Amino acid sequence: MKCILNSVLIAVALNLVLPQVVAYLPIDKSNEYIQMLDHHKMTPVSSSIIVALITSLAVYLGYLLKPVERLQKLV
C-alpha cells in the first residue's frame, strides 16, 4: 500500500510541476506533448486525479498480476 501511495504522490507532483517548468523553456510550443502539458497546467485538479488513478491502478495491477515474472517464465 505504501508503494502505491508513494507512486501516486510522485506522479501528482510531477503532473503539477512539469507543466510549470516546460512553460518557461524556450521550445517549440506546437509539439503535441508540450500542448498536452499546457492543458495539464490549465486543469491541475482533474488531470491530477486522472494521473493518480492511472498510477495507482498500474502499481496495484503490477503487484497483482506480476507481468515481468510471467514473461520471464516464457523465455
Running along the chain, 75 residues long, what does each successive block of 10 average in pLDDT?
A: 94 95 87 89 94 97 95 93
* Contact present, 18 and 51 (Cβ < 8 Å): no
Q: Rounded to two decimals, what is the model's pTM? A: 0.83
* Contact present, 20 and 60 (Cβ < 8 Å): no
Quote the pLDDT of residue 16. Answer: 95
- Cα 67-72-75 angle, rounded to 5 deg: 130
Helix then strand then coil, % of the chain, to nearest 5? 85, 0, 15
